[in-house]
Structure 1
């Protein structure tokens, strides 16, 4: 019988585990990046929806008899608000498009405003999709 004193070379952790570690690490980075982008998106969207311009205009639309006649009752936001709003102390500007729906149809609220202490609206209107009509909320 021969005495065998062979040296057994054990593979390093990386050599044994790279096949599962690399795809898992890459997938984790992609998921984290996606979550980061989603957090930014929902943060910006909620900032727009929490603004006083958004809330006041939506409330005004919900109580406007002409718009209720065109879109029906229970008018609410419908989908993703787009545009931008920027505030700095008592100044800022706003350009928003808010999709809305009622029991009879859909529409879009358009708001363009500038803030210097209080909001001054240059555009505040509702576009009714079914009749292609625009209702100016600034005209009383």
Structure 2
């Protein structure tokens, strides 16, 4: 007479109830990390561009902006808009958040790069609360 011993369940059968949620959480964490890395890469490219750097420097040194926002003026983390360059030409359309000790605002930049030089169609700071400070484009207004 032979006795039939039931087969032991395999590892997957014993552990699937905790393994599936753990694998799902790991996949979600990897997806979020990749997405955040991509955003950081894009923001880094925008923040290192000449249009961004020049516009921010002009806003930070403008007496009217300093009077409205206070000093120091720092750029916020999340820049909105886009920038594209190809050699000596390009375009930029940005909204840069500004943080100051007195008030916050947004620096709006619309610029075109020709022959390696950025020219600003729009360069203005909107102070939270309604005031708009237009920064003059010295390159475009310079005498020939």
The TM-score by the shorter chain falls in which range?
0.7 to 0.9
Which ranges of 4 or more aligned residues in structure 1 deviate by more than 3 Å? Answer: 3-8
- Output the TM-score relative to the length of structure 1: 0.85
Match of 1:112 in 2: 110
**1:22-41 correspondence runs (5 A):** 22-41=20-39
RMSD: 1.9
**Looking at CA atoms only, which structure, 1 or 2, has the larger radius of gyration?**
1
* 1:57-105 Cα deviation digits (max 9, x unpaired): 1111111112212222211113421111122232221111111122221
**1:1-140 correspondence runs (5 A):** 5-116=3-114, 117-130=116-129, 132-138=130-136
- Output the TM-score relative to the length of structure 2: 0.83
Structure 1 unpaired stretches of 5+: none
* 1:7-49 Cα deviation digits (max 9, x unpaired): 3412222212211221111111111111111111111112211
**C-alpha separation in 2, matches of 1:51 and 1:119:** 11
**C-alpha separation in 1, matches of 2:70 and 2:6:** 81
Secondary structure at the counterpart of residue 113 of structure 2: strand
**C-alpha separation in 1, matches of 2:24 and 2:69:** 49
Count of aligned positions: 137
Q: Shift in Å at residue 122 of structure 1?
A: 0.9
The question of whether the paired residues in 1 share the 8 Å contact of 2:93 and 2:110 is answered with yes
